[in-house]
Structure 1
Amino acid sequence: MGDLLLRATGDANMMRDMLVDTVVMISKEMLVIVVMVGIMAYMDWRLTMVSLAILPLLAVAMFQMSARLRAAVRKHRSKEGRMAMLIGSMLQGIAVIQVFGREEYEDERFGAYNRQDLKQGLKTVRLEANLERMAELVIAVGTAGVLWFGVRRVLAGVLTPGDLIVFTHYLRGMYKPLRRISWVTVRLSKATIAAERVFAVLHADDRIKVRKDARPAPRFRGRIHFKHVSFSYRPGLRVLEDITFTVKPGQTVAIVGANGAGKSTLCGLLPRLYDPDEGSITIDGEKISHFTLESLREQIAVVMQHPMLFPGTIRENIAYGKLDATEEEIVTAAKRAGIHDFVSSLPAGYDTPVGERGETLSGGQRQKIAIARAVIKDPAILILDEPTAELDATSAALVNRTLREVAAGKTTLRVGHRLSELKDADLIVVLEAGRITQMGTHEQLVRMPGWYRKVYELQGGAVPPLAEASGDEDEAALGLAGAAENEGCELAAASGSSPRGEGGGS
């Protein structure tokens, strides 16, 4: 993050200097050189050719030194990026540093990074000085050559001493811009590396490829179907493997599993934070890749485990879900999220600043503002990614009650670890190592051997005796039910059954 901020600020400023100051300066100096060369050629074209003979030598010297300088600047900016990253991580983790008593350790680590940065910076400065000295040396050789050849022409009677003095005056006027151009070369070398670093970010491959014929999404009913979906962040390391299940409109589906099982990644595929490597995801029978990203995401709201609030007021954070929201809509969303009474009790009400990342609020308050931000969108689909993971029991109970109210009538995917909070879901999907190993209702899964029953019992839940194996129950619990594969059967079942019945059937 620190390196990205450096690229967005320091490197971008260098590019600005290159595009504005440097271009203007070079244009001006080149104009001066052309004028001076014209006057000198009018006075004596032979002396002018001698004065210009150093240009190829100067160009070669500047090219070679510039290449070395760019390499040094590239290393220097990289080390500065590491410094920025270290400072950022230290500021974010200052409480951890203090608790573990690692102030001296971090001071030494920062000092080591700083010394490396200083060493590389000095190397860069030396190369800059060498480039300027090289330019001065070449210009001195050119001046000496002009004086030697000019004196000989004076002795031969071709020029007068006064002509030579005037010529050398113009010669100084021509070489002075060359000195400035050599100095500009240093800035160009730095700006070139800055441009490399900025464009490396801008030209990074988009994870999401938007179709040219993508169209705005209609209002969703909320029927979601994952069909043989597989995904990997890196080639050969599958995070999700052959995921297939269906969510009916208005259903709540819980996605459970151990840490690293792929739960959050699975939810991230729906708003197209990533695209699957294989398989397809449809909403109301249409592939989500057929819709524009904006129209797709406009109908999906997400409440995350770590609620991200932006610097500003409570009103601005709630309205972030709908930028043109009216005051009435903001208040209504806050009431539905159960945060209105608290906000009203504040001296500044909805104009109360929340601080950076909402640091002036408690965890439950931040989460409820995040819920209000999601509610104000009036989404067709709601994704709840471990919304109570960092809350105490009381706050979690209050948030759960709020979530049940706001999720009513909406298709909801909820990720969680506290199975007691999820047992009322219409369908529970168990992920293990990126695969669906169980799928069914709480009543079905708790009577089947497997991850769900084991973890539910470990969390203090009362488990009934294991059910005798039956074909239908095995299919539901193992996620192999034909309904998850057959679109036609699912639609037929949806036409005559309740959401809860749909989730539990096979």
Structure 2
Amino acid sequence: MQKKRLGTRRVLGWLLRYGKPYRGLLIVFIVISIVEIFIGLLAPWAMKILVDNVLGSEPVPVWLVSTINAFSLESKFSLLVAVCLAGLLIGLASEIVSLLHTQLQVGIGQRMVLDMQRDLFEHLQKLSLRYHQQSGTGDAIYRIDADAYCVNNIILSGIFPLMSSLLTLALMFVILFQIEWSLALLSLIVMPPLFLTINRYSERLSERTEKVKEMESGIFNLVHEVFSSIKLVKAFSREHYERERFLEQGTKTMKARLRVTFQESLFSFIVSALTYTGTAIVLAVGGWHVLRGTLTIGDLLVVIAYLGSVYGPLASISHTVGNLQGSLTSARRVYETLNLQPETGDAANAVEVGKLRGHLKFENVNFAYTEERPVLRNINFEVEPGEMVAVVGLTGAGKSTLVSLIPRFYDSTSGRVTIDGVDVRNIKLKSLRESISVVTQEPILFSSSVGENIRYGKLNAAQAEIIKAAEAAQAHDFILEMPEGYDTLLGDSGSQLSGGERQRVSIARALLKDAPILILDEPTSSLDSRSESRIFTALRHLMKDRTTIVIAHRLSTIRDADKIIVIDGGQIVGEGKHAELMRENELYRELYERLLQGFGLDAPTNGKILTTVETN
């Protein structure tokens, strides 16, 4: 079923809301635009007086007689000087007003763009992991970096110039009607076919531009995917392959863009042909009036100047109609994004929580990414405050998905997860996540300094707190050896650090947060045995009076756990302490033996088939 496209009127109404905070500036902008129009209307009259009354022998217009008498401009030379001076002043005034007009237009436009980018950035952060996994990071970047400019392109580069042209047309028509009514009517002859053409081509261009936007967003996704995995690309020597992928996607997008550009050019040609035709007709009829003596050459010059001031902006808009349609497409994309509801938003009765004890409970929890793809089935277990629980299972068993339900990266399909007896869905998200520290399987670091990366766990932390957390995570010594110590910039994703060092900085960040619940997703998988031992010594102190869930792939983690939960195929198939599970649970015994022999948990070794499910 094809998605229904958002109406243009509704999009424009929504976009105009971004102008409300700048109503004062917009009023000034409109006033300056009107002044600019009136100065433009004055500009050709200096030329008319020069041609008709200075160089020619036409009588001076009645409205000019009093001015000439007031300044004693009886001679033609003095009138020539006055007319040239007036033309100069009008030109300078036009440039000054144009300068103010441009500065205001750019200033208001950039402010509105920033507001839209802020809204997009904020809303995209609220959307679920599922959305970002399906749409891709490149798409989010494209919407913020490119689509957000639609508000400037449509309002300040589209609507206002069009309104200015229409106002100029109305004023011009009134003046032309005073000069020669037939020319005034002829100047409007191109309007019906012009707007008919705009209406017809706009709809067609809008649909094609929307497809191009989607393809361009796909290129952003591809580029982000490749360069965020550049180490893998180089390791497998796949530069040529990725280049071909990029060229294939880029060529398809280029051809689509060229087809749209051809339609834009054809549309522009039609509009230009109409305006040239209108100008030619008015010029021919005006010339005929001059030959008959019913119109002066100066009057005809005024008419031609006015036609240029009206037809020019209209023709200019026609040249950029593709961009305007692209901007409308961008506006629809932004509107649709901002109207997506976060899957894990706050419930109406959601509450703030203070210091949690960390009593965690899963009650009949089921979860599926789609109806055809169940991941967790009938999960029931309880963790007392201060307990350390190890979750073990083969790769793909559902371990990461299970712990993701605690901070509500996803919501359970049925059943509930409670903390201190409160359903996590009834706790405000910010309050809930402030009570949970997470160390991910792959360390996630920003390109800022080491200290700033650790401070991310507690934004108002003092330097002494940062150092204490780094010491507990066995990171302090290697940080001091870096060129700028805690102020050393880490580069993209912490590229200046080894895997183990990145993991220790990540653990220091979680330690600094000092939350009552810890989720450690294989936190020592990148560390050597010595570092792992030191870190778990520090973690034991941290775990006191805190609930800790560890996705375990190491023997040391499993042995230290107060409780071990064994997952297979999205179901709990064993629960208890190490010794108990070794006696009673065949799968756990096999997993433990694999770890003891140095194998991973990717697949069974004894030929037994164990059920697993894929997870995101």
Whether the 8 Å contact between 1:333 and 1:372 is mirrored in structure 2 is yes
Partner Cα distance (1:354, 1:293) in 2: 30
CA contact (8 A) 1:337 1:406 kept: no
Q: Which amino acid aligns with 1:206?
A: P
1:353 partner SS: coil
Of 96-105 and 323-332, more deviation after overlay is shown by 96-105
Number of the residue aligned with 1:359 = 495
RMSD of aligned alpha carbons? 2.6
After superposition, residues 284-303 of structure 1 pair within 5 angstroms as 284-303=420-439
Structure with bigger helix share is: 2
Match of 1:441 in 2: 577
Match of 2:404 among 265, 268, 273: 268
| 1:19–1:422 CA distance, 2 compared to 1 (3 A) | farther
Q: Of residues 132, 138, 147 in structure 1, which corresponds to 2:274? A: 138
Shift of 1:227: 0.8
Task: Give yes or no for contact 2:190–2:278 (8 Å, CA) kept in 1.
Answer: yes
Q: Look up the SS of the partner of 2:207 in the other structure.
A: helix
Task: Give me the TM-score of the superposition, normalised by structure 1.
Answer: 0.84
Q: Does 1:240 align with 2:355?
A: no
**Aligned counterpart for 1:380 among listed residues 516, 519, 523:** 516
Contact 2:393 2:591 in 1 (8 A): no
Higher mean C-alpha displacement, 237-246 vs 452-461:
452-461
Residue aligning to 2:568: 432
Alpha-carbon distance in structure 1 between the residues aligned to 2:375 and 2:443: 24
Q: How many residues align?
A: 461
Counterparts in 2 of 1:408-487, with a 5 A limit? 408-460=544-596
Kept in 2, the 8 Å contact 1:253–1:427? The answer is: yes
Is 1:308 the counterpart of 2:444 in the alignment? yes
Q: CA deviation at 1:457?
A: 2.1
Within 2, Cα distance between the matches of 1:344 and 1:90?
33
Aligned residues of 1:337 and 1:372 also touching (Cα < 8 A): yes
Distance 2:455 2:546 in 1: 20
Specify the alignment match of 1:468 in structure 2: none
Q: Deviations over 1:213-254 (max 9, x none)?
A: 322102111101111111122233221122111110100111
Aligned ranges 1:72-221 → 2 under 5 Å: 72-146=208-282, 159-160=294-295, 166-221=302-357
Partner Cα distance (1:12, 1:56) in 2? 33
Does structure 2 conserve the Cα–Cα contact (< 8 Å) formed by 1:22 and 1:184?
A: no
Q: Which residue of 2 aligns with 1:324?
A: 460
Matched with 2:161 is 25
Percent of aligned pairs sharing the same letter: 37
| CA distance in 2 between partners of 1:102 and 1:345 (Å) | 35
CA distance in 1, matches of 2:477, 2:262: 64
Deviation at 1:144, TM superposition (A): 4.7
- Is 1:6 matched with 2:146? no
Residue 283 (structure 1) aligned with residue 449 (structure 2): no
Task: Give the AA of the match of 2:360.
Answer: I
Distance 1:430 1:158, change over 3 A: farther
Q: Distance in 2 between matches of 1:100 and 1:325?
A: 42
Q: In the aligned structure 1, how far is the partner of 2:472 from the partner of 2:530? A: 18
User: Deviations along 1:67-88, whole A, 9 cap, x unmatched?
Assistant: 2222332232222222222222
Any idea what the Cα deviations from partners look like across 1:9-52, whole Å, max 9, x if unmatched? 12223443334444443343333222212212333445433432
Instruction: State the 1:166 CA deviation.
Output: 4.8
3-state DSSP class of the match of 1:417? coil
The whole-number CA distance in structure 1 between the counterparts of 2:206 and 2:176 is 35
In structure 2, C-alpha distance between the alignment counterparts of 1:352 and 1:165, rounded to whole Å: 69
Per-residue Cα deviation, 1:162-183 (whole angstroms, up to 9, x for no partner):
5666545533433223212323
Q: Within 5 A, what are the aligned runs for 1:28-67?
A: 28-67=164-203
Counterparts of 1:160 and 1:341 in 2: how far apart (Å)? 92
What CA distance in whole angstroms lies between the structure 1 residues aligned with 2:534 and 2:200? 68
Measured in 1, the distance between the counterparts of 2:393 and 2:508 equals: 27
Counterpart Cα distance in 1 of 2:322 and 2:365: 52
**Alignment CA distance shift 1:460-1:384 (3 Å):** same
- The verdict on how the C-alpha distance between 1:67 and 1:125 changes in structure 2, with shifts beyond 3 A counting, is same
1:231 is matched with which residue: 367, 377, 392? 367
Deviation at 1:300, TM superposition (A): 0.6
Q: How far 1:263 sits from its partner (Å)?
A: 1.1
> Where in structure 2 are there 5+ consecutive unaligned residues?
1-136, 599-616
How far apart, CA to CA, are the structure 2 residues paired with 1:289 and 1:447? Answer: 38
- Cα distance in 1 for residues equivalent to 2:476 and 2:286: 89
Contact conserved, 2:213 with 2:326, CA < 8 A, in 1? no
Partner of 1:252: 388
Secondary structure of 2:143's match? helix
For normalisation by structure 2, the TM-score amounts to 0.69
- In structure 2, how many angstroms separate the alpha carbons of the residues matched to 1:213 and 1:44? 72
